[in-house]
Structure 1
Amino acid sequence: MKNIVKEIESKFSNHDDFFIEEVLVDKTAIYLIGFNTLVELPKSKLYIQRIAASSTSVKALFLNLSDQIDVDTEQIVKAILEGELVILLKDGTRNAVVDPIAQNLRSSIAEPKSESPIQASMDAFGDDININVGMIRKGLNTERLCNCSYQVGELDKRKVSMLYIKGRAPNILVEKVNQQLKQIKSDIETIDDLNKQFGQRRLSPVSHLFATELPIQAIHSLKKNRIVLFLDNFPFALVFPNLISDMIRSENDRNFPFVLAFMLRIFRVIGAVATLILPALYVALVSINPGIFRTDLALFVAKSREGIPLSAFQETILMVVIVDLILEAINRLPKSVGPSITMVGGIILGQAMVEAKLVSNLLVIVITAVVIASSAVVGMQNSLYIRFLKYPILILASLFGILGVWTGFIFTVIYLSSLTSVDIPYLKFHIEQEGETK
């Protein structure tokens, strides 16, 4: 038992929230051991000191504190991971597992604002980085979960925590992220400031980081061999690297049978593709390649555009921009006003533009389908960048018709396939586990 302290310390050497604190009780040195993200250490120390004051000896103290005394190392490690406080004599001859004053991990936990989990926990991350790390530890109590902390910034020092599962996340990935975080000299105020540290993607709408406010999603990413970053005073987990699979797969899907989960993912793929090409297809088929339509369908389209002074491209770009403005306004306005703006912008304004002969009925249907499709993908930032990428394809469609649509779509896929994060392609669906053959 004499080397038990060193053994425990070596097991948790990669956990920056792990503590071993020495205190004196009746002139006898004892160690307090645990995680400060799970244990309220100052209050727990006061509790132990009060019990010590009413105990006749250190042996009596151990008996008064717990009925789990002199357990083996494996049980000690398990207790630490479960958020218990372990007290240990300095010479290692006696130990006890104590129920501590636990960190209140629910004090600042609210329901998610930007994600809607189905048949899953409604807890979301908060501003306190220790609480966020504690929520991950509660859901993933393994000694292989490593936590490395950094103080970054020049004027405003900000705490950053990097979490990964040892033996799952590739060592080369952990080392590169660790090196990048240690080299940060400038202040980190936004996600984009942190994003630039992993390689500047000039004029790119795709981030190196995938933001989620759901602990279950962050834990799922850790199990999938990736790294999770936390910024102090920021209520999101940042998954690195961001992969295209984050757009179509959600941990909530696993609550459904495989067939239903697969169907949901197919719908998200359809939604992403529809967002990219539907407006461009409308312009191409109406103005450049109307011969593709059957005669009766071509006559219907022509009749729907009768009396409209704008070209197909002009009315489409007008509607697309207005809809994107409405969506942005909804995100920025208070929740009490947002639904009203949706009603005014989505129904009254659209109907007024049709009656004023500025846009066709068919275009309103297309744009409505695009708005719904763009909301089908997982993650707000993914929806935003897909909506952004539809504009180049729309412009090419107005110039070259169907050829422009498919050329734009192919170039979009080529562009996305060229993106990498520390040599990991964006279009990769899975990161190999450390030691796993590709």
Structure 2
Amino acid sequence: MKLIKGYRRTKQQKQPKKLPANHTLAEFEGKKLSGSLQELEGIIDSTVGKSADLAIRKLHVFGRFPAVMYSFSHMVQQAVVNEDILKPFMHAPMHLQGRSIELAQLPDILLYETLYHGEVQLQGGIDLLIRAILGGDTVVAVEGMKEAFIIGTRSVEKRSIEQPATEQVIRGPREGFIESLGTNLALIRYRLQSTELRIDSREMGSRSKSKIAICYMDGITDPEVLKELDRRLSEVEIDGILDSGYLEQFIEDNKWSPFPQVQYTERPDKVAANLLEGRVAILVDGSPLALVIPTVFGQFYQTVEDYTERFLLMSAIRLARLVALIFSLVFPSLYVAIISFNPELIPTEFAVAVAGGRAGVPFPAVIEVLIMEVSMEVLREATIRLPQQVGGALSIVGVLVIGQAAVAAGFASPITVVIIALTTIGSFATPAYNAALALRLLRFPLIIMAGIFGLYGIMVGLIVIANHVLSLKSFGVPYLSPLVPGDKEGMKDLLIRAPIKWMKNRPAFLHPQDNIKLHVEDQAPSPSTGETSPEKR
């Protein structure tokens, strides 16, 4: 027994300790440069490692002071490094030639008289220098100096600005976000050239150190929303933020709800419009999708095109979208309930046609609809994942050939195929993909409830969904605002889109600091001359 106990104690002692996140940088947190290039070389080697793309260039500043330059060769502009860094460091300008320069004077001379670059700073923290190298900047350290130069030379290959793939419009801007955070912020700043636009930056992810940008309008956005967002972001502890979808799952109010409580978009004009209403936009470096908070359900069937066309036309189209959204949720379950429990609700001529179509189908209506729905979801997922050249052909072949073959083989009735097709088209008419996905998911429990309890099951299911939606909030804003609670100003842009002249105020449920959006003076032109009457001037 003593031997066994001794063995267990030895085994426990030999277990390695759990290393902290990003432990190679944590060891140098708060430590400063000593001025020794040999010591810095050892630190870089122990943290970054002997990477093939790590460029180490040794040089002599003005031919006298030993120095070393660090950068990742594939993340910098080599022409900028050669012309704006190496040349000024190695060759003294004409007005300094023949002048005796001491080491203590060197930082100021290089910073203010020599370097031809706009993004230069001096830093002495070892962890800051390593993070700058990992981020694509160039670091130059000089022997004897306790601060090193960090020069912004990041240049990562990126795709050009293209039309948004998921939010296409006929009338409106054609620009969409890309993966570069700097480009995305420039697109927002281009549309909102206002002194009130604020952009706060932070790093998230203990290992990825992803840059996050928080955009809002100072003087419009509710400060409580910013405080709540800051609190939720400060609680996020993860080693990497690779896309804005990571943040969405951390900051949403109810993680178990199928309904999205954070809106995402790849349109800069949509972000600008939301900022002007008092919302906050969150962008992640490396992601082409921006998050918008707070979010209400009405945003998911509205598009940018609703505001670029005349209000009568777009109000009718918005109502059509809303009808398609409701169809995509309840149409299959209504069909199952009526066929299985209440066939007397069907007109006689139509009932005969339906009965004739279902004559050879061996399954109950609920099983038939579930099989067709699952098949459609599988076909939709396969169409998305396949290459673009093959995906279009597969969708056409799948709908035509498989649907016709299922009817001919007796697995499904023609009316069921029509119902599922209309439901699928209705889900495609929903502009927001994540909202359409939630409704697609909720279709299945409604179909099962309809197959068991009929119309009563549908009503119970809809009441449960409505009760859940009424309980949701997004950063303190009720999810069904401005319908519940009622807001007269917000109702002008809910089911229909009122004329822009009528929407003078910002939505009250966002609690904006500046409520007035449209300044319209009470002036009417005279019928005869067209001039404003004196009593209204």
Paired residues of 1:160 and 1:232 also in contact (CA < 8 A): yes
Q: How far 1:236 sits from its partner (Å)? A: 1.0
Cα deviation, residue 199, structure 1: 4.4
Task: Give the equivalent residue in structure 1 for 2:468.
Answer: 415
Question: Could you tell me whether the CA contact under 8 Å between 1:243 and 1:427 is conserved in 2?
Answer: yes
TM-score, normalized by length of structure 2? Answer: 0.60
Please tell me whether the aligned partners of residues 276 and 387 of structure 1 are also in contact (alpha carbons under 8 angstroms): yes
Which of 248, 259, 262 is the aligned partner of 1:206? Answer: 259
**Which residue matches 1:325?**
378
Q: CA deviation at 1:230?
A: 0.3
Instruction: Please list, as runs of the form range in 1=range in 2, the aligned pairs for 1:2-401 lying within 5 A after superposition.
Output: 108-186=160-238, 187-199=240-252, 201-401=254-454
Is the Cα contact below 8 Å between 2:327 and 2:423 reproduced in 1? Answer: yes
Q: Structure 1 residue aligned with 2:511, among 415, 432, 437?
A: 432
Report the CA distance between 1:254 and its aligned residue.
1.1
Opposite residue 433 of structure 1, the aligned amino acid is: P
Taking the aligned partners of 2:437 and 2:301, their CA distance within structure 1 comes to: 14
Runs of 4+ in 1 over 3 A off after TM superposition: 189-192
Tell me the secondary structure at the aligned position of residue 317 of structure 2: helix
Secondary structure of 1:337's aligned partner:
helix
User: Residue 435 of structure 1: CA displacement?
Assistant: 5.6
For structure 1, the 5+ residue unaligned runs are: 1-41, 55-102
Structure having greater relative contact order (Cα 8 Å, sep ≥ 6): 1
Identity within the alignment, %: 28
Q: Is the 8 A contact 2:243 2:286 kept in 1?
A: no
Cα deviation code 1:83-139 (max 9, x no counterpart): xxxxxxxxxxxxxxxxxxxx99x9631221222122112111000001101100001
Q: Is the 8 A contact 1:247 1:382 kept in 2?
A: yes
Bigger Rg over Cα: 2
**What are the Cα deviations for residues 174-220 of structure 1, in whole angstroms up to 9, with x where unaligned?**
11112222332213234443123224634322233211111111111
Q: Give the aligned residue type for 1:418.
A: S
Contact 1:163 1:229 in 2 (8 A): yes
Tell whether the 8 Å contact from 1:246 to 1:378 is kept in structure 2 after alignment.
Answer: no
Query: How much does 1:410 deviate?
Result: 2.3
| Displacement after TM superposition at 1:328 (Å) | 1.4
What letter matches 2:187 in structure 1?
A: M
Q: 1:352-407 deviations in whole A, cap 9, x for unaligned?
A: 00000111110111111111111111221111111111111111111111121222
Deviation at 1:337, TM superposition (A): 0.7
**Equivalent position amino acid for 1:251 in 2:** V
Query: Residue 129 of structure 2 aligns with which residue?
Result: none
Give the Cα separation in 2 of the matches to 1:311 and 1:385.
26
Contact 1:117 1:252 in 2 (8 A): yes
Residues 212 and 236 in structure 1, CA contact (< 8 A), matched pair in contact too: yes
What SS class does the counterpart of residue 291 from structure 2 fall into?
strand
State how far apart, in whole Å, the 1-side matches of 2:365 and 2:449 are.
13
Q: Cα gap change, 1:107/1:192 in structure 2, threshold over 3 Å: closer, same or farther? A: closer
Does structure 1 conserve the Cα–Cα contact (< 8 Å) formed by 2:260 and 2:435?
no
Q: Give the partner amino acid of 1:323.
A: M
Q: Tell me, in whole angstroms, the C-alpha distance in 1 between the residues paired with 2:373 and 2:358.
A: 17
Count of equivalent residues: 342
SS of the residue 1:151 aligns to: strand
Give TM-score scaled by structure 1 length: 0.73
Amino acid at match of 2:349: D
Q: Paired residue for 2:40?
A: none
CA distance in 1, matches of 2:234, 2:200: 11
